[in-house]
Every structure is written in structure tokens, then in C-alpha cells.
Amino acid sequence: MVTEKQLPAIGPSPYLTGLLCRCPRCGKGKLFDGFLTLKPDCESCGLDFTFADAGDGPAIFVIMIAGAIVVGAALITEVKYQPPYWVHAALWLPLILIVTLWPLRGLKSLLISLQYHHKASQAKLIPRVKE
């Protein structure tokens, strides 16, 4: 018979906590202090966020996806309608801001949450033992 102490602790979904910008351990505390600035720790469970290092991963994903969307739409618009340059500026500058800034926060939070869930950390060299 399996008791409650023998079962592994199941935390909140890393995908849900990541997309909601919540603490990866408890799912309740907020992850960010500003727009992209991490808090030092969770106000709910006390998890120290110094382990979190998303690096440039979120920015690269956002740039590649946003670039494909905006450049594709601009090319189709240019070929089909041939509008003046000011129309391109009026259309694509706001779209660039929307498709880059809006998903960046959620994607950074998602990568941090997955990093915590999978216990990812910096690689360490292990010295070889001579036999």
C-alpha cells in the first residue's frame, strides 16, 4: 500500500506557471518586479530566484517569430497593394512593438519555469578519477 509520504510531490504545471508569470514552485507568487526584472525571491513560498537564467533564449525566439510575421506581412502588402512608405511605417512599427514586447515576458517566464522544473543549471566539469 502506497502512503501519502511515498508519493512524489507534484507541483503546479511549469507551462501554466510560466505563461502566467508565477513562481515555478508554488504557482502563487509573482515572478517579475518590473517588466522583465526578476524579483529576488517568491513572496509566497520564499523560493530564491538566483537560479533563474533565461539568457538570450526568449529574445531569440521572439525575434525569429516576430521577424517572420512582420516581414511576411510587409512583403505580401507591398506586392499586392504597393502602398507608399509612410503606410508601411504606420502599419509595421506598431506591429513590431506588439509582436516583440507582448510575448517576451511570458516566454522568459516560461523558460525560467521549465529551468526550475527540469533542474537545469550551469554545466560543471567533473574531475576524472584515475584508476
Q: What is the pLDDT of residues 70-105, one digit of tens each?
A: 999 999 999 999 999 999 999 999 999 999 999 999
* pLDDT attached to residue 2: 46
Q: What integer best gives the mean pLDDT of the chain?
A: 89
- CA 103, chain centre distance (Å): 8
Residue 7 has pLDDT above 60, yes or no: no
Q: Following CA atoms 31, 37, 40, 44 in sequence, which dihedral angle do they give, to the nearest 10 degrees? A: -20
Q: Give me the pLDDT at residue 131, please.
A: 66
C-alpha span between 35 and 82 (Å, rounded): 37
Question: Would you state the pLDDT for residue 38?
Answer: 93
Distance CA 92, CA 23 (A): 34
pTM here is: 0.80
> At 47, is the secondary structure helix, strand, or coil?
coil
Three-class SS state of 32: strand
Say what the pLDDT of residue 92 is: 96
Give the model's pLDDT for residue 4: 47
- pLDDT of 51 > 80? The answer is yes
Rounded CA-CA distance 40/124 in Å is 24
DSSP 91-115: HHHHHHHHHHHHHHHHHHHHHHHHH
